[in-house]
Amino acid sequence: MYTFVTPLASSMMAPGLGEVAIKYSITDPTTLAMTLSIFLLSFALAPLILAPLSEMYGRTWVLHICNLFSLGFNLGCAFAPNTGALIGFRFLAGFAGSAPIACGGGSISDLFSERDRASAMATYTLGPLIGPVVGPIAGGFIAQTIGIKWVFIIIAVLCGVSAIIGIPLLRETYAPIIRLRRAKRSGDPEALAKIPSVMESGESKLHYLWINLSRPIIMLTRSFICFILSLYMSFLYGIFYLMFTTFAQFFKTAYGFEPGVGGLAYLGLGIGFMIATIVGAKPADQVYKYLADKNGGKGKPEMRIPALFFGSLFVPVGLFWYGWSAQAKVHWMMPIVGSGIFGFGMMSSFLPIQLYLVDAFQYAASATAAASVFRSMLGFAFPLFGQQMFDTLGLGGGNSLLAGLAIILGIPFPIWVYYKGEAIRARSTLKL
């Protein structure tokens, strides 16, 4: 539930941006877009801290504490007196709300074997992607009927419900922390001495903290494979958020959709995600098992990449379809279908990339956190220039440009990783 509520908070206000502009007298489109996308800036930075902390002190309390802070910051958004306060509280809400993204990949690694991770990862990934789709649908009707303030109040209520359910029921998954806690409860000093714990002296503890906090940045800067796969994932996420900020205005201008009905335009993305989850996860597991069996039963991270070949083909198709049907202003269903094709390709690409990162690195949470830095940074940046790009190139030309970049990033590099990834990882001096 944590994984669903936070992405919901990131986008629930999207169809109500017009109401935000009226309430706070915002006339600059970049400032208005920032009230939505500033959430993604802190969403990018926080996992660098929260993911390593989850590997030092456990996943569960990082999730619980951040969820409670998220509740408070969303209430701050609801009652923000001016634009600056709204942007500030949105930034803080994004920081606290990133905990499920920071810890989720690591929890999947904790709980599932390499052969069974694809279905579990697909279910986990669906939350961060379907939340931003459901959010605008609900947010549009809420903003239109009872006001934009209630969008944030309802998010805070959902955080409270998550806390009521999660605090008593959610269990720790990280094995070193579980062993440490069991040793402490046993009262056996010999058992406790055998468990490596957070360093006890102030200096060594600080050094230990620095090692863990710097790990995601080291992974991102010293592993080219981690960098290039994270870049492609981030590019798709940037387009995803660009659609969020432009859908409401486009469907209102082209088809006369009000905020409530306009939120339904996001269903195309959601249906694409759902179809990819249903039809993509099981075949991804089957392909991995088939290749592992051919290799004597031993799996490799590169065996996740064939599923990426499949997903990356749908991304440019969806972008071309959406862009040119939107520019031609044909029936409103056609752009929605195009966005659904893009959503299918995006979800089908996200899954193998996250599985590769989890399989390839010992510290899975730090690896996925490193990827989330790029992802959320581009999610923050794309909406800031998107409207200007479409004003200059048109929806057809702008989306064609994005589709071309998706082809360059999404087709040759996965092929290169599939054939050369193992050799590159073997030569790497990065031991994480």
Query: Per the structure block, which two tokens stand in for 74?
Result: 């969303």
Label residue 201 exposed, middle or buried (CB < 10 Å: 0-12, 13-18, 19+). Answer: exposed
Residue range 130-175, pLDDT digits in tens:
676 677 777 778 887 888 889 899 989 988 998 898 888 888 888 8
Phi/psi of residue 312, nearest 5 degrees: -70, -20
Given a contact cutoff of 8 angstroms between Cβ atoms, the answer to whether 226 and 377 are in contact is no
Q: How many residues does the chain have?
A: 432
Domain 2-196+212-427 in CATH 1.20.1250.20? The answer is yes
Of 376, 384, 377, 378, nearest in space to 405 by CA: 378
Distance CA 15, CA 25 (A): 17
| Contacts within 8 Å (CB) and 24+ apart, 164-170 | 165/1, 166/1, 166/2, 166/63, 166/64, 166/67, 167/64, 170/60, 170/63, 170/64
The tokens of 235 are what? 């590019």
- How confident is the model at residue 199, as a pLDDT? 43
Looking at the predicted structure, is the pLDDT value of residue 210 above 70?
Answer: yes
* H or E element in which residue 416 lies: helix 412-427
Count of CA atoms in the C-beta half-sphere (13 A) of 397: 8
192-206, 220-234, 280-294, 352-366: segment of lowest average pLDDT: 192-206
State the pLDDT confidence band at 193, using cuts at 50, 70 and 90.
low
Of 271, 419, 288, 414, nearest to 353 by C-alpha is: 414
Q: Which residues contact 357 (CB under 8 A, 6 or more apart)?
A: 105, 226, 229, 230, 364, 367, 368, 370, 371
pLDDT beyond 80 at 124: no
Select the highest-mean-pLDDT range: 96-100, 278-282, 372-376.
96-100
Start-to-end Cα distance in the chain: 30
- pLDDT per position as a tens digit, 49-77: 787 778 778 888 888 899 899 999 999 99
State the pLDDT at residue 202: 45
Tokens encoding 9: 């908070």
pLDDT 10s digits, 240-281:
888 877 887 788 888 888 766 777 788 888 888 888 877 776
Nearest to 318 by CA among 342, 346, 336: 342
| Nearest CA among 392, 269, 288, 395 for reference residue 339 | 269
Q: Which amino acid is at 21?
A: A
Query: For residues 424 and 426, what is the distance between their CA atoms, to the nearest angstrom?
Result: 5
Mean residue pLDDT across the chain: 81
Token pair for residue 285?
């597991």
pTM of the model: 0.74
Q: Is the pLDDT of residue 302 over 50?
A: yes
Between 367 and 242, the higher pLDDT residue = 242
pLDDT of residue 118: 67
User: Chain centroid to CA 132: how far?
Assistant: 10
Q: Dig out the tokens for 111 from the structure.
A: 């709980």
Tokens standing for 328? 């031609």
Question: What's residue 235's pLDDT?
Answer: 92
CB atoms within 10 A of CB 328: 12
> CB of 176 within 8 A of CB of 48?
no
Q: Where are the domains of the chain?
A: 2-196+212-427
Percentage of residues in the chain with pLDDT exceeding 90? 18
Q: CB of 323 within 8 A of CB of 285?
A: no
- Please tell me the predicted confidence (pLDDT) of residue 399: 92
